[in-house]
A and B are shown apart, each in its own frame.
Chain A
């Protein structure tokens, strides 16, 4: 009873302070909004309008048709016509173009020979995405061969994109973004939670009271679970309104899973708070968690393509498990019962980090 009173006392105090801290309050709403705009609009995996330069040595009707077909895909936009391949390379070095197309004078003859490429594509390899797009252009069918009796082009596979048939990047990114935003804000908020009290001297008073470490920790994270769920709501709303991201599973499942995930990242935040001596260190440690979370969790790059070592490291990061859960519920319409394993992993992260935080925190100054 007293224990509960103390937990709520700490939680209530935390909410009061939060409501008076404009910067933090702004971050609760501002960070999700800014990040979803940034990721939703700027990070666009459907690449269009690549700046392209052309050298057309053939100058024939066929070569003009080839260029027209290429432009029609909207993947490239012709911005320069050069006289030689060397000029194309120079333009690429000056970053005027990222793709160069060289149509040789003997293109008709080359087209007739199945062992030779008809034309050459020069690609700026410094950007992996552009290189990938170029591979798509190479596979482009071109059947304008009136003079040649070539067999119709054969395809080995036909691909169907499940769950996101239009292959829109917003649909791929927004659900994972819920996890990224929660990691960032939640870890940061709790990481400074105890450090701040230490810096302001409050802790010296607090530890002379009968409040137990566990009560203090639980009281500190309770308000943030609610705040995290508010952020989830915000991201889902913006995702649905601006980017047309569907939620195929049930909202109850999504909120329950999010609550578990929030608890796990809050636990990590608290652990950081018991390690850092000053708020600046807490910020540094937060980024130490943030970077691998974004890179290794499968949010940016497919998890299966990572080296085994990276996959092991990723297992420790709660975001890895949450990405599976959130994409499952939002995009695939999965239920919690389908996601027991990642949920259990999140539970483990929560318990381990909370236990370590409680053990590390001393009601002493030495």
Chain B
């Protein structure tokens, strides 16, 4: 670790952002966190590349937030090591503060200070000079379309406006690493889209972004994805690759009286999950049984429903890798 830091500082004279460009931004090995007897995060290994959006996908309580908090030094790992941009955590946690922007799950800016006052306070606390502060605040108000809201207080802003403010505050000091903990849970899909556009803009400026989510459409936008379940890393890779590698077969059954069919399919004991979407049933079959589709066909025979194999999506990957109990 020390050797890396030494090389880093030599190169740093040239261009800070370019140092060790090939190295991952964040490396975690055997990351574990226990709260009393419960294991929130269980020996997670991560290698997060620079200038990419890296997503954490998982059900509630899977350890996303805990992992996030350990990566930025807010929680001390019970076991394991974390290194962010060559700094080891928690030892160098204070040195890392200027290099990390953190957007909390709950809105955490001051509700009784105006948009501009909030940004100004953070700029001061982050040690930006008066000039840089003014420049950055003006630029942020412009970029995140907050100009006309500058005098308003967050208590009077909409969810989307608050979220833009929170992002503006997190990137005010232009950190090379940005952690976003379920950033779009309180906004509508259109706002979410705009939000992601601004994230991709940041990537252009070499920012490494970590984002946790439980929305599939959001997860699909990430360069890389880690799926967590009960504190364990159960899958990792590009969303496309993860979908391509899925060994499970997905069937779609279309017809009437799906409730009865659903039960019949479930009783076969070969489906990982059966979910109803309107007048269709999406059946995720356990891998390794070539006759499975035939069995489902037989089970619904005579009901008048049609059956077809369909392409798996990220949600199927998610369901296949996270639920050990069958959701039937």
Taking Cβ atoms with an 8 Å cutoff, the residues of A that contact B are 2, 5-6, 8-10, 12-13, 16-17, 20-21, 200-211, 363-366
Residue of B nearest to A365 (CB): B74
- Interface flag for B108 (CB, 8 Å): yes
Q: How far is the CA of A21 from the CA of B113 in the complex (A)?
A: 11
Give the top 4 A-B pairs by smallest Cβ distance, nearest first: A9-B124, A205-B108, A201-B108, A208-B102
- Interface flag for B97 (CB, 8 Å): yes
CB-CB contacts of B91-111 with A at 8 A, as 1s and 0s? 001100110101010111111
A5 proximity list for chain B (CB < 8 A): 124, 127
- Interface flag for B121 (CB, 8 Å): yes
Q: Is the CB of A17 within 8 A of B100?
A: no
Q: Given A9-B121, A210-B94, A364-B74, check contact A205 B127 (CB 8 Å).
A: no
Q: Name 14 extra pairs, CB < 8 A, besides A8-B124, A201-B106.
A: A6-B124, A13-B110, A17-B110, A17-B113, A21-B112, A204-B108, A207-B74, A209-B125, A210-B98, A210-B127, A364-B75, A365-B75, A366-B75, A366-B76
Q: Is the CB of A208 within 8 A of B113?
A: no
Q: Is the CB of B76 within 8 A of A13?
A: no
In the assembled complex, how far is the CB of residue B218 from the closest CB belonging to chain A, in whole angstroms? 22
- Interface flag for B126 (CB, 8 Å): yes
B113 proximity list for chain A (CB < 8 A): 13, 16-17
Q: List 12 A-B contacts (CB under 8 A).
A: A2-B127, A5-B127, A10-B125, A13-B117, A200-B111, A201-B104, A208-B100, A209-B122, A210-B125, A363-B93, A364-B76, A366-B75
In the assembled complex, how far is the CB of residue B240 from the closest CB belonging to chain A, in whole angstroms? 33
Residue of A nearest to B102 (CB): A208
- Interface flag for B72 (CB, 8 Å): yes
Interface of B is mostly: loop
Residue of A nearest to B153 (CB): A20
Q: Given A5-B124, A210-B127, check contact A204 B110 (CB 8 Å).
A: no
Residue of B nearest to A205 (CB): B108
Q: Is the CB of A201 within 8 A of B75?
A: no
**Most chain B C-beta atoms within 10 Å of own C-beta, residue among A20, A207, A208, A209:** A208
B127 proximity list for chain A (CB < 8 A): 2, 5-6, 210
Q: How far is the CA of A200 from the CA of B107 in the complex (A)?
A: 9
- Interface flag for B87 (CB, 8 Å): no
Q: Is the CB of A9 within 8 A of B125?
A: yes
- Interface flag for B69 (CB, 8 Å): yes
Q: Is the CB of B108 within 8 A of A13?
A: no
B107 proximity list for chain A (CB < 8 A): 201
Q: Given A16-B117, A208-B100, A209-B97, check contact A202 B109 (CB 8 Å).
A: yes
In the assembled complex, how far is the CB of residue B121 from the closest CB belonging to chain A, in whole angstroms? 5
Q: Given A13-B113, A365-B69, check contact A210 B97 (CB 8 Å).
A: yes
Q: How far is the CA of A366 from the CA of B69 in the complex (A)?
A: 10
A365 proximity list for chain B (CB < 8 A): 69, 74-75
Taking Cβ atoms with an 8 Å cutoff, the residues of B that contact A are 69, 72-76, 90, 93-94, 97-98, 100, 102, 104, 106-113, 117, 121-122, 124-127, 169
In the assembled complex, how far is the CB of residue B1 from the closest CB belonging to chain A, in whole angstroms? 22
Q: How far is the CA of A202 from the CA of B107 in the complex (A)?
A: 8
Q: How far is the CA of A209 from the CA of B94 in the complex (A)?
A: 9
B97 proximity list for chain A (CB < 8 A): 208-210
In the assembled complex, how far is the CB of residue B70 from the closest CB belonging to chain A, in whole angstroms? 9
A9 proximity list for chain B (CB < 8 A): 121, 124-125
Question: Which of B93, B98, B112 is A20 in contact with, Cβ under 8 Å?
Answer: B112
Q: How far is the CA of A222 from the CA of B127 in the complex (A)?
A: 20
**Most chain B C-beta atoms within 10 Å of own C-beta, residue among A8, A204, A207, A209:** A209
Q: How far is the CA of A209 from the CA of B128 in the complex (A)?
A: 12
In the assembled complex, how far is the CB of residue B165 from the closest CB belonging to chain A, in whole angstroms? 12
Q: Is the CB of B112 within 8 A of A210?
A: no
A363 proximity list for chain B (CB < 8 A): 93-94
Q: How far is the CA of A20 from the CA of B153 in the complex (A)?
A: 11
Question: Which of B94, B109, B117, B124 is A205 in contact with, Cβ under 8 Å?
Answer: B109
Q: Given A204-B104, A204-B108, check contact A210 B74 (CB 8 Å).
A: no
B94 proximity list for chain A (CB < 8 A): 210, 363
In the assembled complex, how far is the CB of residue A78 from the closest CB belonging to chain B, in whole angstroms? 61
Q: How far is the CA of A20 from the CA of B113 in the complex (A)?
A: 9
Q: Is the CB of B104 within 8 A of A13?
A: no
Q: How far is the CA of A210 from the CA of B75 in the complex (A)?
A: 16
B93 proximity list for chain A (CB < 8 A): 363
In the assembled complex, how far is the CB of residue B183 from the closest CB belonging to chain A, in whole angstroms? 13
Q: How far is the CA of A210 from the CA of B93 in the complex (A)?
A: 10
In the assembled complex, how far is the CB of residue B158 from the closest CB belonging to chain A, in whole angstroms? 18
Q: Is the CB of B108 within 8 A of A202?
A: yes
B126 proximity list for chain A (CB < 8 A): 209-210
In the assembled complex, how far is the CB of residue B119 from the closest CB belonging to chain A, in whole angstroms? 12
Residue of A nearest to B107 (CB): A201
Q: How far is the CA of A356 from the CA of B200 in the complex (A)?
A: 45
Residue of B nearest to A197 (CB): B110
Q: How far is the CA of A194 from the CA of B259 in the complex (A)?
A: 53
Q: How far is the CA of A145 from the CA of B258 in the complex (A)?
A: 114
Q: How far is the CA of A16 from the CA of B113 in the complex (A)?
A: 8
Residue of A nearest to B78 (CB): A366
A366 proximity list for chain B (CB < 8 A): 75-76
Q: Given A17-B112, A20-B112, check contact A204 B124 (CB 8 Å).
A: no
In the assembled complex, how far is the CB of residue B9 from the closest CB belonging to chain A, in whole angstroms? 20
Q: How far is the CA of A208 from the CA of B100 in the complex (A)?
A: 8
Residue of B nearest to A3 (CB): B127
**Most chain A C-beta atoms within 10 Å of own C-beta, residue among B75, B98, B126:** B126
Q: How far is the CA of A279 from the CA of B28 in the complex (A)?
A: 37
Q: How far is the CA of A5 from the CA of B129 in the complex (A)?
A: 9
Q: How far is the CA of A211 from the CA of B75 in the complex (A)?
A: 17
A21 proximity list for chain B (CB < 8 A): 112
A206 proximity list for chain B (CB < 8 A): 125
